[in-house]
Copies of this chain bind each other. A is one copy, B any other.
Amino acid sequence: MNEPVKIKEAARMLRGMQDLLILTHKNPDGDTLGSGFALWAALRALGIRARVHNEGEFPAKYGFMTGPYFERAEEFEPRHIISVDTAAVKLMGEKTAAAYARRVELAIDHHGTNEQYALSLTVCDPGSASCCELIARLIDALGVRMDTYMANCIYTGLATDTGCFKYSNTTADSHLLAARLIGLGVDFAQLNRIFFETKSRGRIRLEQMALAGIEYAAGGKIAMITITQEMLKRAGCDHSDIEGVTPIPRTIEGVELGVTLRELENGNYKVSLRSFELDSAKLCALFGGGGHKRAAGFECSGTPHDIKAAVVAAAEAEMAK
């Protein structure tokens, strides 16, 4: 894509709009919300009314974004619809998609899988680690001076989508933007504490229970944990807590394949594989599942004992190749 040109085009479009609805993806993360609220604040600085929309609730940990927003939010009938960090219509959520998907004029995104559903313009740069990096450039193109609120929003997307600059998607540009945001007074230490160093009590309980039952196989190259419905009940966990526990087996020294079995409400098991060099997607395909090379999954019935034995046998065969 010819990106700088498209950013300028997006800025020109936005300047001509009024009463915007900014769609964020369901199960919202730091990047979609950071993008949405930073853009809301920038438009507001230009006298353009906008609202940030999500199919569900805004999670409490993003209160530093939503607090100032709700103080100033205005009711109006949206005349223009745009989306941020949302690769596909189905990611908007059912109600949102039904109401607005066909009216999205501008989509700003960084997923290579963007479905190009926007009517007028899709600004999509898969080379950007976060959508917020594109929003920062859009704010510049709009001629808006970035304030600390916008900087905090942008930093949020940048930090959360890169695992705080840890992951391979981080670029030199990500760091250059972070340097600029620090210059703008972003409260990064406090934000990072919220995003990366805070676990719920339920999450702590679930971790403890899952680790108590950890099993190793293939001479320590495979580590497996099981999360049952009963454990979830006892721990008092929500979905995001489970997401935090799933990567743990792979973080253990010497482990090449981390396996997490999660009992579903219907009694089946959701099996999540995490690897480095081993192809998790290929392994999961053997069980009717799929995903990415380093993170894949499948669903199946059976006892944890049998499921683990089958995964270990398949993984050992693959490792022996």
Contact = CB atoms under 8 A, between A and B. Distances in A.
Interface of A: 163-168, 170-173, 175-176, 178-180, 182-183, 188-189, 192-193, 196-201, 204-205, 207-208, 211-212, 214, 216, 220, 248, 251-254, 276
Contacts of A251: 197-199
Contacts of A197: 166, 251
A102 to B, nearest CB: 39
Contacts of A183: 172
Contacts of A164: 163-166
19 contacts: A163-B164, A164-B164, A165-B165, A166-B188, A166-B196, A170-B182, A170-B188, A172-B182, A173-B179, A175-B178, A175-B179, A176-B179, A200-B253, A201-B220, A204-B252, A207-B207, A207-B211, A208-B208, A208-B214
A291 B168 CA distance: 37
Contacts of A216: 201
Contacts of A168: 188-189
Given A168-B189, A172-B182, A182-B175, A204 B211 contact: yes
Contact of A253 (B163, B182, B199, B252): B199
Contacts of A172: 178-180, 182-183
Contacts of A276: 193
Contacts of A201: 216, 220, 252-254
A179 to B, nearest CB: 4
Nearest to A192: B166
Contact of A167 (B175, B189, B254): B189
Given A175-B175, A208-B214, 12 more contacts: A165-B165, A165-B178, A168-B188, A172-B178, A199-B252, A199-B253, A200-B252, A201-B252, A201-B254, A204-B248, A208-B208, A208-B212
